[in-house]
Amino acid sequence: MRLDKSDKELDSIPSFNLKEVVLYADPKFDSNAEFRKYLILKKKVLKVYPYAKLVSDRVKKMEKRLEKIKSPKARNKYVEIVREYFQSKLVEDLKNMTQTEGQILCKLIFRESGSTVYDIVSKFKGDITAFLWNSTIYVFNISLKKEYDPSSDSEDTMIEFILKKAFAENYFDNVSIIDDRVIIQK
């Protein structure tokens, strides 16, 4: 390309469009014990989040489908089919979770869906079933009524930090959900 004298006089600055980059540093801790606690929480959150996302997405799909089903009998049958399907796909993974992972899962389901696990069970299976499930699982120090509130709960604040950092680092890009099974590729 040939430049004329008038082209040389033009003032131009090359520019590039770049993706936004968000950097998160690990928080500072007063002791090694606190740092170790953070690392354990991080491991649990990263393990459990894909399940919370899966459950939340499936519940939203189920709600949309149930809106189209008018008959209470057909609705109940559909809910039972979905429950059995979930049970066949997720029970083994859920059995291998610790108590704290179970509680984190309940919080993250609330984060993703806006409803507690208790409310979800109550909506689809009834109040008595939700009460029985909550009473049974309470033995393991897990509450299905636990809400996620990073503004007032310090553990939830840390969970939110861990998730935001994971999203910024595209951590969950390595997580696939195939046939309702969570698969983490390393």
Count of domains forming the chain: 1
Is residue 34 a part of any domain in this protein? no
At 167-186, the pLDDT tens digits run: 888 888 766 665 555 666 55
At 30-69, the pLDDT tens digits run: 999 999 999 999 999 999 999 999 889 888 988 899 899 8
Residue 98 pLDDT level (bands cut at 50, 70, 90): very high
139/116: higher pLDDT: 116
At 63-97, the pLDDT tens digits run: 899 899 889 899 889 888 888 887 887 888 888 89
pLDDT of residue 106: 93
Is residue 6 a part of any domain in this protein? no
Is residue 132 a part of any domain in this protein? yes
Is residue 33 a part of any domain in this protein? no
pTM of model > 0.85: no
Residue 15 pLDDT level (bands cut at 50, 70, 90): confident
Does the pLDDT of residue 28 top 80, yes or no? Answer: yes
Is residue 146 a part of any domain in this protein? yes
Is residue 97 a part of any domain in this protein? yes
Is residue 98 a part of any domain in this protein? yes
pLDDT averaged over the chain? 84
| Contact call for residues 115 and 103 (beta carbons, < 8 A) | no
Range of the domain at 113: 46-159
